[in-house]
A and B are shown apart, each in its own frame.
Chain A
Amino acid sequence: MQKFFSFFVRHNAYLLLALYCAIASLCIKLQNDDFMTRLRTGSLEFTAYLGDKLMSYSYLLHLRKENERLMLLNTDLLARTLNLETASIDDRNRRKLMADTTVNASRFIMARVVGRRFSDRENMLLIDAGWRKGIKKDMTVLTPAGLVGRVTAVSEHYARVMPVIHADFKVCVVSDPTNVMGVLGWSGGREFTAQMERVPISSALKLHDRILTSDLSTFSVRGIPVGRVERIVPDKLFYTVDVKLAVDFSSLTQVLVAPLKIEREKVEMSGDNAVGEPLQ
């Protein structure tokens, strides 16, 4: 026993280090656990509240109101433009649109960006709309200029957004007018250039083609502008495509949140539940 205690006293710094590391490792392992998610949500609310208070000093009252009025106007115009553009693309491809998923996109929720981190330690946006305003996880965040990102965490009054310029962000996109599909992601580097992957070398993609979100995306409504093709480099099987993003992330102040795309049946069909029988 005495040996154990003398060992403990002699090596207690290492034991303490092991204990702290074990707790930290446990937190890393359980980061998607219910309790940890609740903890994160609580801290998000607190962080966003403080950030909001700090930022609000920099806003002039009437300038803020004018911005909100213009944003409302933009919301309306964006909804119309999206509908018109989608209809026009459909018409050109002579496809009948039986289940238009953009119908749900006519009612956006407006939010203000209250926090922005773009560093090697954190890369996210905080918006001042939470579940009280109807925000849910995986909703699409956009501006009239284009796609901003996806909601990843929601608290009562705030939500955390993973921007397009995050290494983990992916979205299915399609080019207009060549209708070439691909997956858009950002692999670091310049903040205004993303990469479109899985574009076969046989495709008809051209420089300056517009890139829009596709109906294949599991979270985003289709037809949201993402950017324009800036560079196409052929590889063995696929093109390496650089896309100049439509949104300027350095000057984002207001965003819109599109309603959640509800396609339960589609998700279930593409998952393990697809057994050829009608789903409940």
Chain B
Amino acid sequence: MTKKLSLNIGLLCIISLLQIYGLSRLSLFHVSPDALSIFLAFLAVTVGQRTGMTFGFAAGTITGLLSGNLGLNMLSRTVEGFIAGYFNIPENSHATANQKSRRLYGAVAISSFAANAIFSIGYNPLGYSPFFRIAVLGLLETILTLGLAFLVNRLFLKKNLSD
């Protein structure tokens, strides 16, 4: 249990740094895929809503400290973990790997879009209209994140999900 927790904390730190210094540079129309959303969704789906939310809060703290926008990052990531928690798969579930993957994609899409919307309401550095920022860019970011989630799921997560 402690080993798994330490592993998740380590992964959270690495993915946060990767997001800030790596993925944020791969932008398309000023939005980039969000690896942290995938990680939080995965935790919330496999472990539980409270864990997803707590890790969301921690992820928001790290990214907020690194980007200088602490409160808003905390808020959006916490809500992200909370929403992803509604897609949680109980331990005794008999769902197939494909069904579990679909739940993960659902969690990624909904929670990432919601977190992006909250962030957009609080901070809009490029001066876009709220509709464009939330609906168009939010949707684009969600699609990019889903693409990344699909890739990551195929390469790493599928085995964990089917266990």
Contact = CB atoms under 8 A, between A and B. Distances in A.
B70 A31 contact: yes
Interface SS, A side: helix
Contacts of A120: 30-31, 120, 124-126, 128, 133, 137, 141
Contact of A47 (B66, B122, B126, B137): B66
Nearest to B48: A13
B57 A40 contact: no
Interface string A5-36: 00000001100110011011111110100001
A178 interface: no
Contacts of B143: none
A119 B32 contact: yes
B75 A121 contact: no
A43 B75 CA distance: 19
A46 interface: yes
A44 interface: yes
Contacts of B30: 118-120
Interface in A150-199: 153, 160, 166-168, 186-189
B123 to A, nearest CB: 7
A121 B24 CA distance: 9
Interface residues of B, number: 43
Contacts of A27: 64, 70-71, 74
B122 A24 contact: no
Nearest to A46: B66
Given A28-B122, A121-B119, A166-B125, A20 B78 contact: yes
B54 interface: yes
Interface size class of A (residues with CB under 8 A): 35 or more
A253 to B, nearest CB: 16
A160 B68 contact: yes
B143 to A, nearest CB: 14
A167 B50 CA distance: 36
Interface string B1-33: 000000000000000010011001001001110
Residue of B31, B79, B127 most packed against chain A (CB within 10 A): B127
Contacts of B78: 17, 20-21, 24
B67 A31 contact: no
A28 B75 contact: yes
A229 B69 CA distance: 35
Contact of B82 (A13, A44, A54, A118): A13
Given A43-B65, A120-B120, A121-B123, A25 B128 contact: no
B49 interface: yes
Contact of A121 (B53, B54, B125, B129): B125
B104 interface: no
B108 interface: no
Given A25-B75, A120-B126, A187-B127, A16 B68 contact: no
Contact of A17 (B24, B53, B127, B141): B53
A151 to B, nearest CB: 14
B72 interface: yes
Interface of B: 17, 20-21, 24, 27, 30-32, 49-50, 53-54, 56-57, 60, 64-72, 74-75, 78-79, 82, 85, 119-120, 122-129, 133, 137, 141
11 contacts: A13-B49, A13-B50, A20-B57, A21-B79, A31-B71, A40-B70, A43-B66, A46-B66, A118-B30, A119-B24, A120-B133
- Closest 7 interchain pairs by CB? A167-B127, A28-B71, A188-B127, A27-B71, A123-B125, A24-B74, A24-B75
Given A25-B75, A36-B70, 12 more contacts: A16-B54, A20-B75, A28-B122, A31-B70, A40-B68, A43-B68, A47-B67, A47-B68, A120-B141, A121-B69, A122-B67, A160-B68
